[in-house]
Amino acid sequence: MASTHSASMTRAETDVPALLASVARSLPYLLVIAAIVAVVVFLALGRSTPLYRAEARVLVGVGDLSPAVARSTIAGEIQLIQSRDIARGVLSAVGLAASPEYLQAIEGGAWLEGVLVSLGLARNLDGSSVEERVLARYDENLTVYAVGGSALIVIAFRAADPDLAARTANAIADAYLALRSSATDETVAMLQAEIDRLRGALAEAVLRAAAVRDDVAGLPPPLAGAERAVLQAEFEAAEQAADRAGADAVAIRAALAGGTVPDTQVVQTDSGVRALVAEQQALRADLARETVANPLGNPRVAEIRARLASIDAELRAAAERIARDLEAAFERDRARADELGRRLAEADAATAAAEELAAIEHEIAGYRERLDAAVRRQDELKQSGVLPGDVQLLSRATVPATPEGPDVLALTGLAFLAALILGVAFIVVRGLRTGRATRQVPFEPLAELDVPPPAAARFRRVGNDDVPRAMQDEPTLAPAVEDIGWSLGAVADSIAGQRRVVVTLAEDSDRDGRPLAAVALARALAGRDRSVVLLDLRDDGADSLAMGEGTDLPGFADLLAGEASFAQVIFRDRRSRAHFIPVGAGPIEPEALAGERLATLLAALDHTYDHIVLDCPDDAIPHIAPGADAALVASEYGSADPRTVRAVSRVAKVSAARIFHLRVDPGRKPSSPDPETAEAA
């Protein structure tokens, strides 16, 4: 039941009839002022010197170049026409410095020019040279442009003297053609020099290739990778065997020279030496027993000692024999290693020569290709006599019969209209500022209603996990009172300067259709002339249905995965100036929100929009809320209700954002869950 409180507040509205009446009363004065302005402009234009415009046209041959290259070529030709080299040649050829209007520019002192300089609309040439003053006036009067993006270039020149305008335009065209002709001659000379250089380099490369080819013919064929590896292994084995044999032979010779029997491994492993050593040890044992048994002498002792001396001689002879065998083995292994090394060197030399020959042949092919291109270019120049892509003079400038301007009547009419419009605008602004064109209208504030008005929301049927759910197309917001939270307008006014706003729901607030608090907040912010984007992180598609025309749009899931760009996922709200990014093709996993990609995307949106409204499910709050500046908890319950308190605490635990509570009406189920047609929406 609605409250019976009477309206006790007023608001200001524009009083359009009063505003129109004020304009009508002031209209005679405005017409007089506009007429005075028109007369002044008419007299000023009548005293101005008329300017004549003469045009010369040249055509740039761009051939079959691509549109982008053709535009770049034409832009370069326009810059060449406007270059200082051509300007100085035209000044001396035409004698512009001696004409009356350029003499006035050299002397200076015109009051209009001084006014323009003081306003920053003209260059201050007081300290400039005579040539700089003439060139400045020349640049003002010269206009060079391409007609409609084509290859036709117009050279237009303005002057108070029509004959001077025509002569100057033709002189510019002639200087441009002469410069292009000299460029043709220089190109011909450069081409001939390049052809001579390429021919010399080609002849030298052919001689080097022949010499390398002779070297390759005298070498064995290069080895394959596997064959060379086998040969390298054999070479290394032969070298190691030769080194071991030589080292053992040297050690045996050194021991024999010292009067001892060598105890190297190769000697100890010889069968004859092992037998002699065994006999020697047995005899020494017998000698020790006989000496102990017969200390005064025994023929057996003398016999044993003689045999021991004979064994020592035999051991030295065996060592000598082993040393000779090792030296022979060293010679054989060394010869084998040398042969294998020679074969490896020849194979490597053959491979290197083949590679060098291939490189020289590639170089020869490059020289021939460049030489053929230069010769073809030279032939084209000889046949045409001009550079391909050069210019042609289509028409020379003629002496204009009528001045280009100024159009006195048209400018006078424009001045009259401008003065009249400015006067009307002044009257309107003054009326609004003084309050004469406004009136106070009573209204009944929303806070004085006892119950919310009937919800006029429409509903849509949204499939979520194959279970139909009815949800409101627009949220219905309860009136705000002091003990149950903030109103939507108060929230929108209070988050100015706070870029990221997280919107979440209290428990059970979406059992009968989720209230679209994020959509309502985004539209409220857009209505306050702020740029805002809604980022939908919920997978039910309700925000997309409310703001767009479907749930199959690419969105933030695709952007987060790198499969879409910002331009593909940002859409315009159909009922406001807000933008929104749908959830996308698939659900957004909470783990995907913990990476650096999310921070990068949100930072990019921060630079573009005043506010980012994030419609956030509960499982995404730990990842989204820490970077938020404000949070909005939408609840069907009061601020002291445990469900609202838990929702607020869930945000407060992870974020220092300012938290607002928005009380919303409980969602009502529609009589029919079928969606509206697009035409009805």
Are residues 44 and 69 both part of a single domain?
A: no
Are residues 544 and 426 both part of a single domain?
A: no
In a domain, 308, yes or no: no
Are residues 478 and 584 both part of a single domain?
A: yes
Q: Which residue has the higher pLDDT, 596 or 674?
A: 596
Are residues 26 and 79 both part of a single domain?
A: no
| Coil vs helix vs strand at 77 | helix
**Of 32-46, 150-164, 399-413, 600-614, minimum mean pLDDT range:** 399-413
pLDDT of the residue at 501: 92
* Residue 675 contacts residue 513 (beta carbons within 8 Å): no
Instruction: Outline where 48-129 has alpha helix (H).
Output: 67-81, 84-94, 100-107, 111-118
* pLDDT, average across residues 330-349: 77
In a domain, 135, yes or no: yes
Answer yes or no: is pLDDT of 663 > 70. yes
Are residues 149 and 39 both part of a single domain?
A: no
Are residues 506 and 569 both part of a single domain?
A: yes
Q: Which residue has the higher pLDDT, 450 or 242?
A: 242
Q: Sign of the C-alpha dihedral, residues 566, 572, 573, 579? A: positive
In a domain, 384, yes or no: no
Ranked by mean pLDDT, the top range of 127-131, 224-228, 537-541 is 537-541
**Of 98-107, 157-166, 364-373, minimum mean pLDDT range:** 98-107
Cβ atoms within 10 A of the Cβ of 414, count?
13
* Residue 157 contacts residue 141 (beta carbons within 8 Å): yes
* Residue 581 contacts residue 555 (beta carbons within 8 Å): yes
Answer yes or no: is pLDDT of 298 > 60. yes
| Coil vs helix vs strand at 421 | helix
Instruction: For residue 656, give the CATH number of its domain.
Output: 3.40.50.300
In a domain, 304, yes or no: no
Are residues 39 and 71 both part of a single domain?
A: no
Are residues 517 and 632 both part of a single domain?
A: yes
pLDDT of the residue at 437: 64
Answer yes or no: is pLDDT of 671 > 60. no
Q: pLDDT category, 56, cuts 50, 70, 90?
A: very high
Domain end residue (candidates: 443, 467, 500): 443
Answer yes or no: is pLDDT of 457 > 50. no
Q: Which residue has the higher pLDDT, 510 or 521?
A: 521
Are residues 473 and 578 both part of a single domain?
A: yes
pLDDT of the residue at 29: 86
In a domain, 368, yes or no: no
* pLDDT, average across residues 223-238: 73
* Residue 290 contacts residue 348 (beta carbons within 8 Å): no
CA distances from 43 to 29, 47, 597 (A): 21, 6, 67
Total number of domains constituting the chain: 3
Q: What percent of the chain has pLDDT over 70?
A: 70
Are residues 439 and 513 both part of a single domain?
A: no
In a domain, 134, yes or no: yes
In a domain, 594, yes or no: yes
| Coil vs helix vs strand at 394 | strand
Per residue, what are the HEC states of 201-247? HHHHHHHHHHHHHHHHHCCCCCCCHHHHHHHHHHHHHHHHHHHHHHH
Please state, in angstroms and rounded to a whole number, the distance separating the CA atoms of residues 440 and 106.
64
Q: Which long-range contacts (CB under 8 A, 24 or more apart) does 240-245 make?
A: 241/329, 241/333, 242/329, 242/330, 242/333, 242/334, 242/336, 242/337, 245/326, 245/327, 245/329, 245/330, 245/333
pLDDT of the residue at 615: 92
Domain end residue (candidates: 144, 166, 188): 166
Ranked by mean pLDDT, the top range of 151-165, 428-442, 544-558 is 151-165
Are residues 162 and 26 both part of a single domain?
A: no
Per 3-state DSSP, the chain is made up of helix, strand and coil in percentages (nearest 5) of 60, 15, 30
C-alpha 210 chain-centroid distance: 50
Answer yes or no: is pLDDT of 536 > 50. yes
- The CA-based angle 583-589-594, given to 5 degrees, is 105
**How many CA atoms within 13 Å lie on the side-chain side of 13?**
9
Cβ atoms within 10 A of the Cβ of 514, count?
24
CA distances from 155 to 56, 59, 83, 86, 91 (A): 5, 11, 13, 13, 16
Domain end residue (candidates: 132, 166, 200): 166
Please state, in angstroms and rounded to a whole number, the distance separating the CA atoms of residues 542 and 667.
14
The sheet that has 52-60: what strands, in order across it? 142-146, 152-159, 52-60, 391-395
pLDDT of the residue at 460: 40
Are residues 438 and 575 both part of a single domain?
A: no
Answer yes or no: is pLDDT of 260 > 80. no
Pairing outcome for strands 630-635 and 459-464: unpaired
Q: pLDDT category, 446, cuts 50, 70, 90?
A: very low
In a domain, 526, yes or no: yes
* pLDDT, average across residues 215-238: 71
The residue range of the domain holding 655 is: 459-663
Q: pLDDT category, 674, cuts 50, 70, 90?
A: very low
